[in-house]
């Protein structure tokens, strides 16, 4: 298995784009894969009727859902994806590559504290993932659970509290305390951010900065997976941008490099994944993150800054850099 440092040494940082207080840095691989995706995205599996996500049993469980994959391919579930319906809305606790032709019990967190009644037999994916600040906190809680007791549970009370605080700051009331209602309240503003940014050909990842500070990054094994998640991720960071100072400060490439340096230096451990591959978790003084290693590659990596604190200086290894002038994006 490659180290995270070795993985990021194969990437380049493209030219940033900015809208209001949100800036994006595209991440590109020097050698783009020629293969097609060898897994289904959860959204596609559900749309094709090959994948069903439902309550684990008639009584339901806040922290678990039942996934039935009848496809010939594995299905990729991504950390932070929101699932709408059933007895309450949930988000995925970590990235899973669920095996083909099998059922999997998937760990989730509730993001709708005030509902416990059936609205639909099956759950569907939302057009966003969980907002980045809450997702980073949840990821850290899951890592601690994996380290301490081998489970993949979040701190559910903290998840609800985080959403309630976000709703209060943004004055987005919800009768059921649903995270989705915050997105709905700010749909117009969030879509302004979404329209302002575009996925670039060959882009496999992206780093985000809000009000001049790097907040996190996401990288997939294939540009097509990144393309499909790009707008969902922009919406998640847009909600945090709306909850942050309106300063138009610009983050530097060196700050992105500093974040990746911290990822490479962070303490990490791995466990057998719930589906295919291995779960890799990493934690440092200023960052927390996770990765899924499967099919001899990192299928997905995500990382988040803690408390929005990232150094602007970098001791980053020289193999990752801006693209050359011939590859300036």
The string of DSSP letters for 48-87 reads TTSEEEEESSTT--TTEEEEEE-SSS-EEE-TTEEEEETT
Tell me the residue range of the domain where 234 lies.
4-327
Task: Report the domain count for the chain.
Answer: 1
Is residue 253 within 8 Å of 13, Cβ to Cβ?
yes
| pTM > 0.85 | yes
DSSP 3-state of 273? coil
pLDDT tens, residue by residue, 194-207: 999 999 999 999 99
- In tens digits, what is the pLDDT along the chain, a chain of 329 residues? 999 999 999 999 999 999 999 999 999 988 878 889 999 999 999 999 999 999 999 999 999 999 999 999 999 999 999 999 999 999 999 999 999 999 999 999 999 999 999 999 999 999 999 999 999 999 999 999 999 999 999 999 999 999 999 999 999 999 999 999 999 999 999 999 999 999 999 999 999 999 999 999 999 999 999 999 999 999 999 999 999 998 878 899 999 999 999 999 999 999 999 999 999 999 999 999 999 999 999 999 999 999 743 333 333 233 343 444 323 32
CA–CA gap between residue 243 and residue 239 (Å, rounded): 7
Is residue 294 within 8 Å of 95, Cβ to Cβ?
no
């Amino acid at each position: 298995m490659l180290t995270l440092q070795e993985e990021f040494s194969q990437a380049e940082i493209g030219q940033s784009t900015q809208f209001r207080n949100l800036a994006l840095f595209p991440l590109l691989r020097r050698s783009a894969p020629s293969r097609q995706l060898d897994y289904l995205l959860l959204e596609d599996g559900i749309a094709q009727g090959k994948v069903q996500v439902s309550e684990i049993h008639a009584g339901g469980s806040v922290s678990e859902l039942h996934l039935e994959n009848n496809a010939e391919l594995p299905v990729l579930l991504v950390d932070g994806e929101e699932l709408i319906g059933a007895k309450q809305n949930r988000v995925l606790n970590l990235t899973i590559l669920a095996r083909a032709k099998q059922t999997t019990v998937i760990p989730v967190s509730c993001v709708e504290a005030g509902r416990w009644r059936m609205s639909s037999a099956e759950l569907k994916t939302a057009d966003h993932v969980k907002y980045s600040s809450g997702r980073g906190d949840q990821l850290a809680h899951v890592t601690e659970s994996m380290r301490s007791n081998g489970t993949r549970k979040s701190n559910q009370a903290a998840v609800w509290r985080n959403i309630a605080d976000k709703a209060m700051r943004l004055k987005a009331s919800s009768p059921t305390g649903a995270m989705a209602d915050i997105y709905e309240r700010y749909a117009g503003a969030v879509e302004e951010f979404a329209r302002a940014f575009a996925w670039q050909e060959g882009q496999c990842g992206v780093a985000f900065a809000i009000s001049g500070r790097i907040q996190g990054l996401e990288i997939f094994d294939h540009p097509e997976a990144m393309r499909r998640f790009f707008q969902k991720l922009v919406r998640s960071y847009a909600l945090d941008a709306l909850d942050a100072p309106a300063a138009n400060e610009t983050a530097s490439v060196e700050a992105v490099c500093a974040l990746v340096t911290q990822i490479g230096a962070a303490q990490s451990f791995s466990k057998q994944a719930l589906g295919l591959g291995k779960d890799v978790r990493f934690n440092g003084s200023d960052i927390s993150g996770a990765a899924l290693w499967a099919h001899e590659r990192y299928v997905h990596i995500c990382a988040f800054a803690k408390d929005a604190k990232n150094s602007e200086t970098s001791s980053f290894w020289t193999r990752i850099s801006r693209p050359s002038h011939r590859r300036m994006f």
